[in-house]
Amino acid sequence: MSAVAEPTTRSGFELEAVYGPDSVARRGIGDLGAAVGEPGAPPYTRGIAPDGYRAAPWIIGQYAGFGSAEDANARFRALIEQGQTGFSVALDLPTQMGLDSDHELAAGEVGKIGVAIDSLADMERLFDGVALEQVRQIRTTANAIGPTWLALVVCLCERRGIDPADIRILIQNDVLKEYIARGTYIYPPEAGLRLVADTIEHCAHHLPAWNPLAMSGYHIRESGASAVQELAFTFANGIAYADAAVARGLSIDDFAASLFTFLSAGLDVLEEVAKFRAARRVWSDIVGDRYGATVPDSRALRIFAFSAGSSLTAQQPLNNVVRVTLAALSAVLGSAQTLHTASFDEAFATPTADAARLALRTQQVIMAEAGVTGTADPLGGSWAIESLTADIARDVTALLERIDERGGALRCIADGWFVNQLEEGAYLDQLAVERGEREVVGVNVHRADGDELTPETFAADPHSERRQVERLAALRAQRDGAAVTAALDRLRADAADGRNTVPATIDAIRAYATVGEVADTLRAVFGTRDRPAAGTGAGS
């Protein structure tokens, strides 16, 4: 008779039947209070705010966008009217890849998994009637086109008569993870890294209130990573960005406090809470020990949590409401600063308005009714949570050392090591579901007749792509072509000569150059990376 396997977390940490003082002692923790510190102070295990959510709740930041700028604008305004305090702009695949809507490769993809943004004219339509200065945070999926998105927002502010420094913008801008976990890259990794450094440098000097980078572990986790790999791979990329920024002459204290991280919030509540706490501890040590930060706030990791899309099932889709609620609760108990909750119907299509509203209400119920916002780090001191936090932090640090020994993030991208690790993890996870070793309600346990029924799904306007292409043609006919050419020539020269590309990109966008024209200019200098990368597609 075979022995019964010990219960483990999703990432394989064995769970003790009962945790107690000996549990933390075995992990080398003597004085628990001294080891974890206080909220609002390094190493920030217990959160970056001294009073948790008392002074300000987390930002409700729902991810949305589809079709034309007008379509997405209507959804944004509806969500804001219903209490959303921040939002993420979902860009369609052509925009993310630096392709205009009339490019032959864009056919059939315009506005499909996000909104099509070809130029400043589309930005003006996208944010029509939205008071930018009143929204607590505006984010976007721009990664390979991070500097271009910065330019679009700066020029939009100019058109509105708003000082860009007075609004809060978070640019995802993490292109390195695209080469290992998502695939929306354009240029070779070294050039992609340079453009991220351009953005960090420009923001440090001109837009200090902006967040120029969200180190993105979400896509890494969705591609097959464990909790430990999610953090270690993300921070390895973050180290590469920090090294590039410091090489520009910036000190770590010039930009570290402006950085965010973007992490998955999964269903394994104990592990996920511990993961968020461990993430802050490890990043605090990296910034303090590796880079010598002297400003405490430089070591405080800000977290944008996104409920795990991979946990959603097409079978018994209403069960996804429960899954999303548990994921959201793990993020809140882990003291995230911004939270997106997925809609229950996202296993089928872009969320319907009703499903998006329910996802928003899920956060609002937790915020108003669950009683978890009155104290900072409510699970701090739990022997189970502190033990798991210590385990995850220890293993993340060890894996980062291994990545350093392999030559760092760029080397692990070049030789495919990151991708191989994620592919193996995804395979083993799927195998566990198929064998019934990991139970998924409605998929391999508790199945019932009717599980395959599809809820009402969202359908985009089938004529949206044609109208977008027509508008783009009209823009090209009406703008000052000489001004566009001059601006793009300057961008080409700055890219070739090693100067920061952001000022020239702003000039080009101001002249109504298109996203594709800016990308083509940089392609002519940097070339492209054509080798396929493993990943999960075009999610957030």
User: What is the residue extent of each domain of the chain?
Assistant: 21-434
Q: What is the dihedral of CA 30, 384, 285, 416, to 10 degrees?
A: 140
Whether 540 has a pLDDT exceeding 70, the answer reads no
Whether 5 has a pLDDT exceeding 80, the answer reads no
| For range 364-387, the mean pLDDT | 97
List for the chain the helix, strand, coil content (%; round to 5): 50, 10, 40
| Banded model confidence at residue 537, pLDDT cuts 50, 70, 90 | very low
Neighbouring C-alpha atoms within 13 Å toward the C-beta of 404? 12
Distance of alpha carbon 239 from alpha carbon 215, whole angstroms: 10
| For range 54-66, the mean pLDDT | 85
Q: What is the dihedral of CA 423, 429, 432, 437, to 10 degrees?
A: 160
Q: How far is CA 138 from CA 168, 198, 211, in A?
A: 6, 20, 10
Mean pLDDT is lowest, of 35-49, 102-116, 255-269, 480-494, for 102-116
Distance of alpha carbon 99 from alpha carbon 485, whole angstroms: 18
Mean pLDDT is lowest, of 61-75, 94-108, 185-199, for 61-75
Sequence-distant (≥ 6) Cβ neighbours of residue 172 within 8 angstroms:
139, 140, 141, 142, 143, 146, 213, 214, 216, 262
pLDDT at 359: 94
Whether 91 has a pLDDT exceeding 60, the answer reads yes
pLDDT at 435: 95
Whether 121 has a pLDDT exceeding 50, the answer reads yes
List, for residues 490-526, the tens digit of each pLDDT value.
999 999 999 999 999 999 999 999 999 999 999 999 9
Distance of alpha carbon 311 from alpha carbon 324, whole angstroms: 8
Whether 205 has a pLDDT exceeding 90, the answer reads yes
pLDDT at 533: 42
- Average pLDDT of the chain is 93
Q: Burial level of 450, CB count in 10 A (0-12/13-18/19+)?
A: exposed
Contact between 491 and 521 under an 8 Å Cβ cutoff? The reply is: yes
Q: Pick from 258, 209, 213: which is nearest to 238 by CA?
A: 213
Per cent of the chain over pLDDT 70 is 96
| For range 457-481, the mean pLDDT | 89
pLDDT at 31: 93
Q: Which CATH number fits domain 21-434: 2.120.10.30, 3.30.565.10, 3.20.20.240, 2.40.110.10?
A: 3.20.20.240
Which letter does DSSP use for residue 332 in this model? H
Distance of alpha carbon 172 from alpha carbon 181, whole angstroms: 14
Which carries the bigger pLDDT value, residue 528 or residue 137? 528
Q: Phi first, then psi: what are they for 62, rounded to 5°? A: -75, 140
Neighbouring C-alpha atoms within 13 Å toward the C-beta of 166? 10
Whether 266 has a pLDDT exceeding 80, the answer reads yes
List, for residues 381-390, the tens digit of each pLDDT value.
999 999 999 9
Mean pLDDT is lowest, of 229-233, 303-307, 459-463, for 459-463
Mean pLDDT is lowest, of 36-50, 54-68, 106-120, 282-296, for 54-68
| Banded model confidence at residue 536, pLDDT cuts 50, 70, 90 | very low
| For range 431-451, the mean pLDDT | 89
Per DSSP bridges, beta strands 86-89 and 59-64 are parallel
Which letter does DSSP use for residue 210 in this model? S
Beta strands in 266-329 (DSSP E): 302-307
Distance of alpha carbon 149 from alpha carbon 127, whole angstroms: 14
Distance of alpha carbon 177 from alpha carbon 419, whole angstroms: 10
Handedness of CA 308, 359, 116, 125 (dihedral sign): negative
Which letter does DSSP use for residue 290 in this model? I
Which letter does DSSP use for residue 83 in this model? T
Read off the tokens for 116.
């099509």
User: Which residues make beta-bridge pairs with 64?
Assistant: 89
pLDDT at 458: 67
pLDDT at 452: 66
Residue that the structure tokens 């205009």 belong to = 100
| For range 79-94, the mean pLDDT | 83
Q: Pick from 533, 449, 46: which is nearest to 284 by CA?
A: 46
Q: Phi first, then psi: what are they for 307, rounded to 5°? A: -60, 140
DSSP string, 11-74: T-PBPPSS--HHHHHTTT-SSHHHHH--TTSTT-TT-SSTTTTSSSPPEEEEEE--BSHHHHHH
User: Which residues make beta-bridge pairs with 215?
Assistant: 261
- Highest-scoring range by mean pLDDT, 67-81, 123-137, 253-267: 253-267
Handedness of CA 97, 99, 100, 101 (dihedral sign): negative
Distance of alpha carbon 457 from alpha carbon 292, whole angstroms: 51
Whether 81 has a pLDDT exceeding 80, the answer reads yes
Whether 457 has a pLDDT exceeding 50, the answer reads yes
Which letter does DSSP use for residue 289 in this model? I
pLDDT at 358: 95
| For range 204-213, the mean pLDDT | 96
Whether 292 has a pLDDT exceeding 70, the answer reads yes
| For range 460-466, the mean pLDDT | 81
Per DSSP bridges, beta strands 137-140 and 260-265 are unpaired
Contact between 16 and 25 under an 8 Å Cβ cutoff? The reply is: no
pLDDT at 461: 73
Whether 3 has a pLDDT exceeding 60, the answer reads no
